[in-house]
Structure 1
């Protein structure tokens, strides 16, 4: 276990936001939610291997195994109450573990490739739109909104997959129209804009989420904004596939392609001002205690002073309440009505934009 310099005290770090063993309302909601979700994932798994005669049977086995484990977790709630934390991260991780066990290494692969290609074709235009905004605050507000809107493109969220299945033209601009208007549910945007008037950060470590619109049209323009300020950027993506999240391997090849569309990215990518690391995770969540040594070393060596965590799995299901050893920006759109209400929001697509100073060491 490698703890990076981002954690002031690894012993007190608790990534999970919810504990289903002690929070009855949360347990009622999420156990049902995961039961419904696994049926959908089984369908995706079959579709990803249509040419394989055994796919349907394996997907059924995956679903049965998942439901059985879910039952066990639910039965053990009274036993584990107050002893073991059961976060939604555990149930999301279980999904990926069992998909692999039954021979579905990356069910969303085809989807990811389509979405990456389609988003890449729009990158240049998006950068031109952003560069046309002369006012610094307006531009950074739009960069943050872009990350949030990009984060809507998440096939793991029922509400979104419904929209994407029904409307093939749903793109970044449609998403920008759908996210909550300010003031957001958690809104520290003004503090972030204020911080940008000060010294540039030395190095930012950015944990990314979904493929396609999210990473290409949301995160990369934001990262380019940091690079233009002279900040070095370490982009961290999943070590293994999880839902439609981009993997570090996919991200490297995406950057080869995207850097052809933009000089700033091209220069940073070729000169090592922009680097990609695997984050050691095999699920859509993020546990900072399990970052690979290589990444921890890079975080320390580059004197990282900004942490950016994006997306529901990494910034809401995990890390929402965790404090870190450097300035932290957590960005996510809540694509789940129950969770939005639980966190005090009204709106389905409520926004979390949480900017925090470094925790005292």
Structure 2
């Protein structure tokens, strides 16, 4: 891990804190999120059991042990808060989500969403060429970039870690990108810097964009890749960063590289950039769905410097909202997310499916 190179992007490394909310000090947040995670873990345990029950007779028992072990850890966190024994350490959503992955692996579930991710990737790839054609039919630059941003936001709806979306996906097997686009709230958004982003895209070409992606399937294939393609067409090199380890239905760097091999057959722009290494994939060093800029791999940190990265794009609730919402960077930054949690949306002044489109220029 790089303890110094990764900070080239951070405006003030000394004050960087990759947690938007501290459960140790925010009583309202703690009173919501602890019960919320108790419900989530029950669902995650069910998913874990189902992912292996056809091939391993111990799956159900191990999933129940995972659930009990996680809840025991959760109780320990709460007791520390109640006893004022937190020692001024921040407890964010990030740590509770990473604990989920740690406990899943402890009980033999390295990737409970593996099959679901494969199914969604296959379906999304089949629709990719048509999505490119839809975007290419938009002649106006501002309208096209608006639709590209909306596409990233709509893709971000496909998150099996968010109960509000899980309910939709379970009830409607035909829910796809266009249905998600219809769910995106009308502007002005909760945080709406889209106009500033559109104005910037009429200016000079960025040298290199660093993009931290989120979910498999519709999200990365139909949301992120069209956005990447548009940057490549402008002459910008793109570094795509995905999870090092599996987490929920988030795409991993290995899966993303395989996805690009398949997606390139549908697009000459992606294919040429992939061959010329103007489109590169890196692991982000994370084991959960959040993003701690202090733990980026050295290889990625060196690439950020080598390619003179001047645009940072952070997508999704875990990376752009639970972590890094208030982080300041030296380069231009675009943070995109749909808030799929009602409490968090209201906490920030919005409602379920409120949009974060936060663009900040270089310092």
User: By the TM > 0.5 criterion, same fold?
Assistant: yes
User: Once the 2 structures are TM-superposed, how far is the Cα of residue 118 of structure 1 from its aligned partner?
Assistant: 0.1
| 2:146 alignment partner in structure 1 | 141
Once residues 14 and 56 of structure 2 are traced to their aligned partners in structure 1, the CA distance between those partners, rounded to angstroms, is: 46
- Residues 179-198 of structure 1: CA deviation (Å, up to 9, x unaligned): 11110000000000011111
User: Once the 2 structures are TM-superposed, how far is the Cα of residue 108 of structure 1 from its aligned partner?
Assistant: 0.1
Asked whether the equivalents of residues 12 and 328 of structure 2 are also in contact (C-alpha less than 8 Å), the reply is no
Once residues 359 and 86 of structure 2 are traced to their aligned partners in structure 1, the CA distance between those partners, rounded to angstroms, is: 32
| 2:178 alignment partner in structure 1 | 173
Once residues 163 and 46 of structure 1 are traced to their aligned partners in structure 2, the CA distance between those partners, rounded to angstroms, is: 22
User: Once the 2 structures are TM-superposed, how far is the Cα of residue 7 of structure 1 from its aligned partner?
Assistant: 1.6
Q: Structure 1 stretch 106-115 or stretch 1-10: which is displaced more?
A: 1-10
**Which of residues 5, 8, 19 is equivalent to 1:16?**
19
- Residues 48-89 of structure 1: CA deviation (Å, up to 9, x unaligned): 001211101110110000000000001111424571100010
| 2:362 alignment partner in structure 1 | 358
Asked whether the equivalents of residues 291 and 323 of structure 2 are also in contact (C-alpha less than 8 Å), the reply is yes
Once residues 191 and 14 of structure 1 are traced to their aligned partners in structure 2, the CA distance between those partners, rounded to angstroms, is: 26
| 1:272 alignment partner in structure 2 | 277
SS in 2 for 1:333: strand
Once residues 214 and 258 of structure 1 are traced to their aligned partners in structure 2, the CA distance between those partners, rounded to angstroms, is: 14
Once residues 136 and 80 of structure 1 are traced to their aligned partners in structure 2, the CA distance between those partners, rounded to angstroms, is: 55
Once residues 242 and 180 of structure 1 are traced to their aligned partners in structure 2, the CA distance between those partners, rounded to angstroms, is: 27
Once residues 131 and 141 of structure 1 are traced to their aligned partners in structure 2, the CA distance between those partners, rounded to angstroms, is: 13
Once residues 223 and 38 of structure 1 are traced to their aligned partners in structure 2, the CA distance between those partners, rounded to angstroms, is: 34
Find out whether 1:119 has 2:124 as its counterpart. yes
Once residues 80 and 158 of structure 1 are traced to their aligned partners in structure 2, the CA distance between those partners, rounded to angstroms, is: 31
* Structure 1: stretches of 5+ with no match in the other structure: none
Find out whether 1:75 has 2:68 as its counterpart. no
Q: Structure 1 stretch 13-22 or stretch 80-89: which is displaced more?
A: 80-89
- Scaled by the length of structure 2, the TM-score of the pair is 0.97
| 1:212 alignment partner in structure 2 | 217
Alignment of 1:176-187 (within 5 A): 176-187=181-192
| 2:49 alignment partner in structure 1 | 46
Q: Structure 1 stretch 46-55 or stretch 104-113: which is displaced more?
A: 46-55
Once residues 243 and 174 of structure 1 are traced to their aligned partners in structure 2, the CA distance between those partners, rounded to angstroms, is: 22
After TM superposition, which residue ranges in structure 1, 4 or more long, deviate above 4 angstroms? Answer: none
What is the Cα-based RMSD across aligned positions, in Å? 0.9
Asked whether the equivalents of residues 331 and 353 of structure 1 are also in contact (C-alpha less than 8 Å), the reply is yes
User: Once the 2 structures are TM-superposed, how far is the Cα of residue 358 of structure 1 from its aligned partner?
Assistant: 2.2
Once residues 81 and 56 of structure 1 are traced to their aligned partners in structure 2, the CA distance between those partners, rounded to angstroms, is: 34
Find out whether 1:108 has 2:113 as its counterpart. yes
Asked whether the equivalents of residues 21 and 80 of structure 1 are also in contact (C-alpha less than 8 Å), the reply is no
SS in 2 for 1:308: strand
* Structure 2: stretches of 5+ with no match in the other structure: none
Asked whether the equivalents of residues 22 and 82 of structure 1 are also in contact (C-alpha less than 8 Å), the reply is no
SS in 2 for 1:11: helix
| 1:6 alignment partner in structure 2 | 9
Q: How many residues align?
A: 358
SS in 1 for 2:324: coil
Once residues 180 and 87 of structure 2 are traced to their aligned partners in structure 1, the CA distance between those partners, rounded to angstroms, is: 40
SS in 2 for 1:329: strand
Asked whether the equivalents of residues 21 and 77 of structure 1 are also in contact (C-alpha less than 8 Å), the reply is yes
